[in-house]
Chains A and B, each alone.
Chain A
């Protein structure tokens, strides 16, 4: 059970300051730590500007973090030299959001994916075709798609090809950055279903990044909620998404579109994210939170709640203290 996690991220930091607003707080990722176990599907939810895409790119090595480590299969991936990285990166792959630009327009599907197989030596040359056919079946593509070019494929088909490419590397972890957000509703359902099925078949770990809470609920067993570069809540999906402890999560859930609307409007955040309103050192949500009070000027630590749920909120801390004072120790900073 205590096997090395497929992915472990330690205090990852990557920040960008807006040159036109040098005083404002920086966006990006701020000291984020988490683990993804073997075969686990972890979701990362957040809206624009929360840093989830930056986090995804740092994890697969497309961006160099300012600080912190990315550990894949026990190896500190982020510390590797460029040449070692090239061979090691087969273990961690990514699927991007936009089907229009995820594939090379001048390469057939076969050629595009063959690169990965050749670079990582996954199968001998004479077995390439056979392996491609296997992968195509896994992602729900017909054999004849292999020789097509991207402009001959639909959006859903292109995303399947992107997933195929990631799988062809035989990775331990696949980061999926909003893989279905650009697809139509019915195509999204098809691709999501395929993802769920192949994940249970192949057993690869997923880090599933999305702004759509319903999609994350469907496919992820564990979920993290990000806001302005920090994780504000995390835990099992059925806890965090059913009984959220953090006001931001509550607001996200209340705002999520539903076929059957909830009877009450629920919590909502004030206004929009304005970087200039956030002071360094305070809770990043304070400026918009309807439940903000005095203590919120100091960023709250992560509080452990029952069932493995954790939230960074003073009110959640109160809640936990009320439940069992002996368990809750405010001085204990939970680390990975």
Chain B
């Protein structure tokens, strides 16, 4: 069984604006194994991107890490040590962003950018050959595209170039933040399949951040679902989809139109940040059809059920 390469333990982050403090990531824990394609799903406001960015020391200004630890390979440190975490970016963690063209340098040809990425890692003997190889790995041809600038290539191609740059340093962990949101569905599928293959071929761990469940269903093995800064359900993807336990997961599945049938949608009520503020509670309770007074007494603890952990009072064992 592959061991755990990367983990977050009780990560909490506050946002500080105009002197006011608000908790936007609330004791988030997850664990990613080597060679695993791990899905992190949530809507906007779920804290999924912020959590992952903070885990590599890139928490935006105005955000303060309030607690938790991050472990990557042999290195374990408090999440508040942003500077220390940032060093992981040159020690085996790479990033992929949503807007590929925006992430690439507009004044440099794409070939050059991959070249630079390669040189970052180590002395390269056959630079041209390595660049050519990387292009091929991501499904592009250096001869066709190497001398082009980012604005001259398509979105899908730009994302592949970004991938080549990310892979140049031979990372053990790749964090992909909604890499396909801006792309057509046919291109999206190719890229996600490619990511899935990478995991297997290179024993690379990938955290795939996505905003809807359907995207991850085909490619990920494990999954974490976040809502308003809290993890609500996480674990084996097949187990979760076969029998979603958390009311939010169930609600999400019912609210998404099905391409294979025109069944009626059951939208989730309310909005992400409604409900009572400033107390520790399940942050989905104000939208939940099964709401109980218990829901507001504190953060629901993780309960292990059928290969996944669910954070909901509905599943907590009543003490005998």
Contacts and interface: CB of A to CB of B under 8 A. Distances in A.
Interface in B261-286: 261-262, 265-268, 271
22 contacts: A48-B184, A154-B271, A184-B44, A185-B211, A186-B268, A189-B257, A193-B265, A193-B267, A211-B184, A214-B257, A242-B260, A252-B186, A255-B188, A257-B188, A257-B217, A257-B218, A258-B258, A258-B259, A259-B213, A268-B186, A272-B187, A273-B154
B253 interface: yes
Given A185-B252, A192-B265, A260-B217, 6 more contacts: A186-B252, A257-B214, A257-B215, A259-B217, A259-B241, A273-B154
B302 to A, nearest CB: 23
A213 B259 contact: yes
B267 A186 contact: yes
Contact of A260 (B154, B189, B211, B241): B241
A159 interface: no
Nearest to B187: A272
Interface string B97-138: 000000000000000000000000000000000000000000
Contacts of A257: 185, 188, 212, 214-215, 217-218
Q: How big is the B interface, by class? A: 35 or more
A8 interface: no
A211 B251 contact: no
The interface centre, meaning the residue of A212, A252, A254, A255 with most chain B CB atoms within 10 A of its CB, is A255
Nearest to B227: A186
A251 B188 CA distance: 12
The interface centre, meaning the residue of A154, A186, A242 with most chain B CB atoms within 10 A of its CB, is A186
Contacts of A237: 262
B42 to A, nearest CB: 10
A19 interface: no
A218 B154 CA distance: 30
B179 to A, nearest CB: 14
A237 B263 CA distance: 13
Given A47-B185, A217-B261, A218-B262, A184 B43 contact: yes
B200 interface: no
A268 B156 CA distance: 16
B73 interface: no
Interface string A238-273: 100110000000011111111111000000110011
A189 B287 CA distance: 14
Nearest to B254: A189
A147 B228 CA distance: 28
B256 A185 contact: yes
Interface in B113-170: 154, 156-157
Contacts of A253: 259
Given A186-B268, A258-B218, A261-B217, A214 B256 contact: yes
B255 interface: yes
Nearest to B242: A260
B262 A238 contact: yes
A175 interface: no
A256 B217 contact: no
Contacts of A254: 189
Given A47-B184, A257-B215, A185 B43 contact: yes
Contacts of B260: 217, 242, 258
Contacts of A261: 217-218
A102 interface: no
B186 A189 contact: no
A150 B44 CA distance: 19
A17 interface: no
B118 to A, nearest CB: 25
Contacts of B154: 272-273
A87 interface: no
Contacts of B157: 272
A326 B30 CA distance: 64
A241 B259 contact: yes
Interface string A206-250: 000001111101100000000000000000011001100000000
A48 B211 CA distance: 20
In the A-B complex, the 10 residue pairs with the smallest Cβ-Cβ separation, listed nearest first, are A257-B214, A189-B255, A189-B267, A218-B257, A214-B259, A214-B257, A261-B218, A47-B184, A186-B268, A255-B189
A64 interface: no
B257 A215 contact: yes
A307 to B, nearest CB: 16
Nearest to A269: B186
Contacts of A238: 262
Contacts of B268: 186, 189-190
A255 B156 contact: no
Nearest to B248: A186
Contacts of A272: 154, 156-157, 187
A257 B241 CA distance: 14
B262 A217 contact: yes
A217 B218 contact: no
Contacts of B271: 154, 187
B259 A185 contact: no
A269 B190 CA distance: 10
Contacts of B217: 257-261
Contact of B258 (A188, A192, A217): A217
A149 to B, nearest CB: 19
Contacts of B44: 184
The interface centre, meaning the residue of B211, B214, B253 with most chain A CB atoms within 10 A of its CB, is B214
A260 B256 CA distance: 12
